[in-house]
Structure 1
Amino acid sequence: MSFFKRLDAKRFRPTDLVSGAWNVREQHVAPALGLLAHAIELDHAVRRDSILTMARVSYDILGTLPIDEFEIDVSVIRPGRTIELVEARLSHAARAIVIARAWLLQTPDTSAISGTPVLAIPTPETLALWKPETLWRGGFVRSIEVRRSLLGVGRAVSWIRSEVPLVAGESVSPTARALGIIDIANGLAAREDVNEIAFPNIDLTVHFIRKLRGLWLGLDTTVSFGPSGIGLTHSIVHDQDGPIGVVSQSLTIRH
């Protein structure tokens, strides 16, 4: 089973595997974020002979998404030979639910000067298996394999992966596949009892320094709650070859 089935060029139907952690009658937004990235990449490949690489993608989550058919529209905001800014809108019943904007950049060879001071994290096989369904509800969390080391309140190092196809019968890039599960970062190091305190993210932004390699996605996660109802989940993102970027999520904290 996949997360989504394509109905036509723009419309998709979710499966039960997308049911959400806060409300099982709604979609967990994670797979939809990956689907938006997939739509951007497909549109890009059709329009261009020279393919640019996704360096940053930012999602604004405008509301909850029911487990129902929806559509995605893609448009180019800033065209260019070496840089593009592309927008994808996910809508349900003519209402925008998620807006994604992605910067796509050329990729000249800079391997001679590449490097980062960010340290590697422990490998997946060294961390204990953690079942997110012991804390969270819904079909999505049950579709993710998680290996985690809980380092303290609001601190965890984790590796995540999923063998569930994003879209039935379609080839999906490692980037889109990773973006389809990365939103789970907000649930890997909960600061409070999730049955007492809600802290859904209203956005998600990822910056990459290179393309992901392999199935495993590593997350070195810190969760912070401010004193007036606003929080932040921030993770350094890794694959098994080292750091590849960062992801941040703004939280609205609710009693």
Structure 2
Amino acid sequence: MSAYFERLGATAFRPTSAVEGAWSTQEQHIAPALGLIAHAIEQDHLDRRGGELQLGRISYDILGTMPIERVDIEVRLRRAGRTIELVEAVLSHDGRAAVIARAWLLQAVDTRELAGSALAAMPRRDELDLWEMGDHWQGEAVRSVEFHRRQREAGHAWAWLRPRIPLLLDEPIGPVSRLLGLVDFANGLTLRLEPREVAFPNVDLTCHLLGAPQGEWIGFDTTVSIGPTGLGLTDTVLHDERGPVGTVQQILTVRPVRP
């Protein structure tokens, strides 16, 4: 596994076996694709404006599964502005939209004297144990990431994650896109029930950021909740070694597995 994707052209990408899904090894794990979409958005902004604005929020709607085959990404400017932009990106397979993302890009201002958060701190990586996500999930994608984790209780865990391979072969990736290529792993970090007993895929993912993360490792303070009517929610506070850097929410469709 050298990378998750290889570039075929300006808007076309070929996935490698490293994107093998956790629910089905015939389908792509959505995590790397979400990072690839963010990279396309950031590259579009860099080409148009030199990277003047920063990504503050991105919301993905996941329209369906994808085989491990070529994908294309189209980026459109939906709301132009000097200090604020709204951008939409559509990732498609064989002409069918699979993921639609909308991102707010906001002006960068020096607010270091105002910076602070009441979000709770999490343990350092060296305080957590090595953990193999592949002990619970199938596919190559979950084996492409290094995990340190502590399960606090069923449905709540702390974890530090670092990808073992780059998102895109022979192409630099910014820290925000790199983070966004990891965030969908949150939904498998802390299990209330084993995947063989219940399916709980997410149909969306929304990430709000306080700034670009620093360092290789991203911390996840993740909780999973399941309601009484087939709905679930995975909620995560993201950290780097300085402290909180953002949040992630994923809505789940919860379906007991019938033998």
Q: TM-score range by the shorter chain?
A: over 0.9
CA distance, structure 1, for counterparts of residue 27 and residue 114 of structure 2: 46
Q: Shift in Å at residue 119 of structure 1?
A: 2.3
CA distance, structure 1, for counterparts of residue 76 and residue 235 of structure 2: 29
- Equivalent positions of 1:1-255 (< 5 A) are 1-49=2-50, 51-255=52-256
Q: Shift in Å at residue 155 of structure 1?
A: 0.5
Give the secondary-structure state (helix, strand or coil) at the position aligned to 1:85: strand
Q: Shift in Å at residue 12 of structure 1?
A: 0.6
Structure 1: runs of 5+ lacking an equivalent = none
Q: Shift in Å at residue 50 of structure 1?
A: 5.4
CA distance, structure 2, for counterparts of residue 124 and residue 182 of structure 1: 17
Structure 2: runs of 5+ lacking an equivalent = none
Give the secondary-structure state (helix, strand or coil) at the position aligned to 2:252: strand
Deviation per residue, 1:137-195 (Å, 9 max, x gap): 00000001011000111010111011311111100001101111110000001111111
Give the secondary-structure state (helix, strand or coil) at the position aligned to 1:90: strand
Matching residue's letter, 1:185: A
CA distance, structure 2, for counterparts of residue 251 and residue 50 of structure 1: 34
Residue-pair matches, total: 255
Matching residue's letter, 1:59: Y
Matching residue's letter, 1:5: E
- The normalised TM-score by structure 1 is 0.99
- Which has the higher mean CA deviation after the structures are superposed, 45-54 or 70-79? 45-54
Deviation per residue, 1:41-78 (Å, 9 max, x gap): 00000001451000000000000011001100000000
Give the secondary-structure state (helix, strand or coil) at the position aligned to 2:32: helix
Give the secondary-structure state (helix, strand or coil) at the position aligned to 1:68: coil
CA distance, structure 2, for counterparts of residue 114 and residue 165 of structure 1: 31
8 A Cα contact 2:238 2:244, kept in partner: yes
- The normalised TM-score by structure 2 is 0.97
Report the RMSD for the aligned CA atoms in angstroms.
0.7
CA distance, structure 2, for counterparts of residue 82 and residue 186 of structure 1: 33
